Amino acid sequence: MKNRFFLGLLLFIPLFGFSQRPDILTVEQAVQLALENNYSIKIAQNVMEQKNASFGNSGMLPTVSVNANFSDDKAIDLSSRGNIDLGWTIFDGLKMFASLDRYKSMDEINSIQFRASVENAIRQVINQYYLIVSTQQQLKSIAQTLEVSEIRHGHVMAKYEIGSASKFDVLNAKVDFNTDSSSYLHMIEQILSAKTNLNQLLARPINTPFEVVEEIPFDDHLDYAALHAKALEQNTDLNISRIETQITELSKKETNALLMPTVSLNAGYDFFANNLTNRGFYYGAGVKWTIFDGLETHRKRQNIRLEVERAKYMEDASLLNLETQLQLTYINYQTNRDLVSLERENTDVAKQNMDISLERYQLGNLTALELRESQRNYLSAIDRYTNSLYLTKLAETILLQLAGELGK
């Protein structure tokens, strides 16, 4: 009776603290909440909205300044002087055009990095969500074995009371029951921790109650060739590396422009007034061409050439890394996908074996050790099955992220 009360208390623990069962949170709802609330996404969005590309930042627009001076000098009585200046660089070796393109590329990188942050957040939410599902499946299997252990302990106690079982048998049964109870409590702890982590990803109160679905769905027909083609076109890391190579090429153009002359126009209005009044409009043009600067331009050109080479190496390395990740993850996906069917069958067989073992044990045709072994086999089969399911889902999620398809 005492064990039955304790078992009932254990099975009640997952709902403890709630007056009614919380609503089911689907993975789609979790992802939507993350897109709305996740702080990593908000930070990346803030960076993305900071724009670099503009005609003014690139030096294409004129500058206008107003200067004024006022003084009360006894020697010349009242004095005021001021002017309005306009300066406009109309040619700088095409540096301004290269600068504008470079700033546009920087803005494009910020946009891709924002998409990468969204993908990472979605992947983390999916992984954490199905970790909860997987752990709850294991919790159910432990509850089943715990019930078997409780029945076994009650059976031994009844035999002990009539003198057909030893104290050793009773203690053995009690140890196994307590072991299963401990495993059950630890599994509940893992579920609560995983739910807390998911609430954090959703940027909501960490103790917000919710339930999850009972199954882990996955796409069992992912095609490697299609994923590879999309990854070469859409992968965020690879595209960032490509744009960074473009940026170094544009920086090279900006540096080469230092070898060219600079042509500028200037105009303004100058006024001066005290006892006399002197005002006038002026305009002109200027040319500046640096013939020798202590080989500083040569040094910059050498350095930027090395930067271009480094960026190309990094782009090649990014491509190789992408193809390696894609290949290894697809192998992992195939392996665990195939294991799912096998382990599902094993769990059915192991469950039947445990049920039959319990019946034979109660009839006296099976030892306690053999019954315990059937329980272990069932738990091991469930663990392998849920693990293969979860790993298949993880691999699927990573493959979609590498292909730039996650969240579409």
DSSP for 118-144, please give it. Answer: HHHHHHHHHHHHHHHHHHHHHHHHHHH
pLDDT on residue 119 = 95
Task: Point out the least confidently predicted range of 209-223, 274-288, 358-372.
Answer: 274-288
Closest CA to 262 of 87, 92, 98: 92
pLDDT on residue 19 = 42
Architecture of the 2-402 domain:
Up-down Bundle (1.20)
The pLDDT of residue 82 is above 80: no
End-to-end Cα, the chain, rounded Å: 55
Residue pair 318/237 in contact by the 8 Å Cβ criterion:
yes
Confidence of residue 43 (pLDDT cuts 50, 70, 90): confident
pLDDT on residue 40 = 87
Nearest 10 degrees: Cα torsion 108, 114, 115, 118? 180
Question: Which residue did the predictor score with more confidence, 74 or 69?
Answer: 69
Closest CA to 93 of 253, 257, 287: 257
Residue pair 12/185 in contact by the 8 Å Cβ criterion:
no
Task: Point out the least confidently predicted range of 61-75, 116-130, 339-353, 373-387.
Answer: 61-75
Task: Point out the least confidently predicted range of 149-153, 238-242, 327-331.
Answer: 149-153
Which residues in 267-279 are b (16+ Cβ under 10 Å) and which e?
bbeeeeeeeeeee
Phi-psi domain of 203 (left: phi exceeds 0; alpha: psi -120 through 50; beta: other):
left
Share of the chain above pLDDT 90, in %: 71
| Stretch 75-93: mean pLDDT | 74
Tokens of 75: 């020697």
Confidence of residue 274 (pLDDT cuts 50, 70, 90): low
The pLDDT of residue 11 is above 60: no
pLDDT tens-place string over residues 88-130: 999 988 999 999 999 999 999 999 999 999 999 999 999 999 9
pLDDT on residue 81 = 66
Task: Point out the least confidently predicted range of 63-77, 91-105, 151-165, 358-372.
Answer: 63-77
pLDDT on residue 51 = 87
Confidence of residue 18 (pLDDT cuts 50, 70, 90): very low
Residue pair 251/307 in contact by the 8 Å Cβ criterion:
yes
The pLDDT of residue 34 is above 70: yes
Apex 266 CA angle, 263 and 268, nearest 5: 180
Task: Write the CA distances from 235 to 40, 222, 322, integer angstroms.
Answer: 19, 17, 8
Q: Which amino acid is at 50?
A: Q
Q: Cβ neighbours of residue 28 under 8 Å, at least 6 residues apart?
A: none
Task: Point out the least confidently predicted range of 2-6, 59-63, 272-276, 383-387.
Answer: 2-6
pLDDT on residue 31 = 94
Tokens of 35: 């897109």
CA atoms within 13 A on the CB side of 259: 9
pTM of the model: 0.86
H-helix segments, 202-235: 224-234
Task: Write the CA distances from 133 to 24, 30, 70, 389, 393, integer angstroms.
Answer: 12, 13, 77, 10, 12
Task: Write the CA distances from 71 to 77, 246, 272, 277, 406, integer angstroms.
Answer: 9, 54, 12, 15, 68
pLDDT tens-place string over residues 291-312: 888 889 899 999 999 999 999 9
Q: Where are the domains of the chain?
A: 2-402
* Cross-strand bridge partners of residue 280: 270
Q: Over the chain, what is the mean pLDDT?
A: 88
Residue pair 337/385 in contact by the 8 Å Cβ criterion:
no
Residue 21 DSSP SS3: coil
pLDDT on residue 71 = 61
pLDDT on residue 9 = 47
pLDDT on residue 70 = 62
